[in-house]
Amino acid sequence: MAQSRRLAKLGTYLRPHWQDTALGIIALFSVNGLGVYIPLLIRSGVDTLSTTFSLNQVIRYAVIIISLSSAMWMMRMASRIWIFGVGRQVEFELKQRIFQHLLKLEPAYFTTNTPGDLISRATSDVENIRRLLGFAVLSLANTLFAYALTVPVMLSISVDLTLASLAVYPFMFLLVYLFSDRLRQQQAAVQEQLSDMSELIQEDISGISLIKIYAQEENERQAFQKKNQDLLTANLILARTRNTLFPLIGGLANISSLIIIWLGTMRISSDSLPVGDFLALLIYVERLVFPTALLGFTITAYQRGEVSIDRLESILSVTPKIQDPPDAIHLAANTIKGEVTAKNLSYTYPGANIPALNDINLTIAPGELVAIVGAIGAGKSTLANTLPRLLDIKAGQLFLDGLDITKIALNDLRRAIAYVPQDSFLFSTTIQNNIRYGDPVRKQENVVTVARLAQMEAEINNFPQQYETIVGERGITLSGGQRQRTALARAMLIDAPVLILDDALSSVDNQTATQILRNLSSGTQQKTVIFITHQLSAAATADRIMVMDKGEIVQIGKHTELVEQPGLYKKLWSQHQVQELLK
């Protein structure tokens, strides 16, 4: 990102807080104004007292100087409260924006952008921007005011002494300029390495069982060590550059103090410089040392923040591929009948050579129970994902009650379709909260009803706290079948006219699966059920069966018809019967 665009971004982050920022900067200006005024008082005090000494005068000067110094101290505190507060506010808002934005992005985005990397951007990069807006803004403004107010007063006291003492400063700025690009690149490398490491930790913790099953602890340890080593190397390279630059800046700043002491004392001894002027000049040069020496840290904070702006904007600038069309059709509640039609529906995953769905044509009547069967990788889940628009399909290919789904408001479409995916993800909360996830205000009795329909009621009643039992992260305290039936109850609770079950009863025995399907089709409110499965005996109870192969629907019919026809279904059925015999 170009420098000007980064600054523009900073401007947009700061705009909502311009009042606090302005107050903070005004306070800093006052601090520096007082910082220039107090040495002038000291100068006049020393000059007056060196000619006519009086205790009263000493006390008067002391009281004024102490009062002004206290005011300066308070102003400095206020400036920090305002400016650091803005940094914290921006940090809060950025985190909100990132999270909200991530929620809008389609699932495909998260297959190429890993949670570890995204978490690192939403935490450490946001923190860097906070430091930039807090520490770097404060420090830059402070340095600027320090120079702008101090140098003219120094010049009014002695032009040549001022110029001599500031002669080293151009070298200081040159140094900073020469190092800045290198610092930024090294900073970016550190942040990338940090992201890589977070990604590995996140993945390894999620896949801990797999690591143990395949006894891969040693390999994972080595992989971690490599990433950790890379991070250490990147940090050391950065530290080397910083540790070269900062002492150089500090050293140059101290040289200017030495020049004043050397030339000033020579002038005092030749009576060409009053002691008060010398003291004021010395204090001024000392005042400039700190902001100048801090310039290195300020630059690092600034550059770290710049890198982080780029990393955050690379997330925030992604336009969601799946969103509401301009004139989205809104579906009135309880008016959807649940007819699903596909017309030449095709879909190819980004980067794939062959389509996962190829010219699919089908119509599923309202209230019909259709099973979709087929070999592994035939395209069944892809078909299921197209209906709630989890995949970015083209317009005019898929219809709900005759309405093109790409024209329907996304929230309305997704409320009309309940979907139980293959992976029955549960949140780390109570069973009850998991079941009513899609409708958090539903009554307990409704939760119990769907648990019964999903054949889960008896088991929940046996849990220690029944419906209040907390399931562990990803539901690890439940068996696979229990997780699936909880996910099914969750989908049934939202009472959508269309229900898609994607291999959602695979961990449930055939008898239970068949009973659940019977419950679904015998309710008062008939749902269109699309039941994707490898369990052919459960599929056989469906109204119709669609058979998929290589992204196409190759057979459609009732079980009794299909077992009579030569084709894929007959083959799958024979294999299924052999498996049943062998059990």
Ligand X SMILES: Nc1ncnc2c1ncn2[C@@H]1O[C@H](COP(=O)(O)OP(=O)(O)OP(=O)(O)O)[C@@H](O)[C@H]1O
List interacting residues with ligand X (CB under 6 A).
111, 349, 352, 356, 374, 376-382, 503
d(CA 295, CA 573) in angstroms, rounded, equals 76
Smallest separation, CB 111 to ligand X (Å): 6
Residue 146 DSSP SS3:
helix
Q: How far is CA 14 from CA 8, 31, 94, in A?
A: 10, 22, 11
CA angle 473, 504, 452 (to 5 degrees): 85
Smallest separation, CB 453 to ligand X (Å): 25
Show contacts of 260-267: CB within 8 Å, 24+ apart. Answer: 260/161, 260/164, 260/165, 260/285, 263/161, 263/164, 263/165, 264/161, 267/161
Quick one: 364 or 435, whose CB is closer to ligand X? 364
Smallest separation, CB 304 to ligand X (Å): 35
> Hey, which bits of 77-236 come out as E strands?
none
Smallest separation, CB 107 to ligand X (Å): 8
Smallest separation, CB 191 to ligand X (Å): 28
Quick one: 142 or 381, whose CB is closer to ligand X? 381
**H or E stretch at 435:** helix 431-435
Smallest separation, CB 483 to ligand X (Å): 17
Residue 421: what residue type? Answer: P
d(CA 141, CA 24) in angstroms, rounded, equals 10
CB distance 278 to 268 below 8 Å: yes
Quick one: 141 or 548, whose CB is closer to ligand X? 548
Q: Residue 273, by phi and psi: left (phi above 0), alpha (psi -120 to 50) or beta?
A: beta
CB distance 259 to 165 below 8 Å: yes
Smallest separation, CB 346 to ligand X (Å): 12
Would you give the distance in Å from CA 132 to the centre of its chain? 19
Smallest separation, CB 573 to ligand X (Å): 17
Quick one: 24 or 374, whose CB is closer to ligand X? 374
Quick one: 230 or 359, whose CB is closer to ligand X? 359
d(CA 514, CA 197) in angstroms, rounded, equals 46
Quick one: 169 or 349, whose CB is closer to ligand X? 349
Read off φ and ψ for residue 342, nearest 5 degrees: -115, 135
Quick one: 57 or 111, whose CB is closer to ligand X? 111
Quick one: 72 or 356, whose CB is closer to ligand X? 356
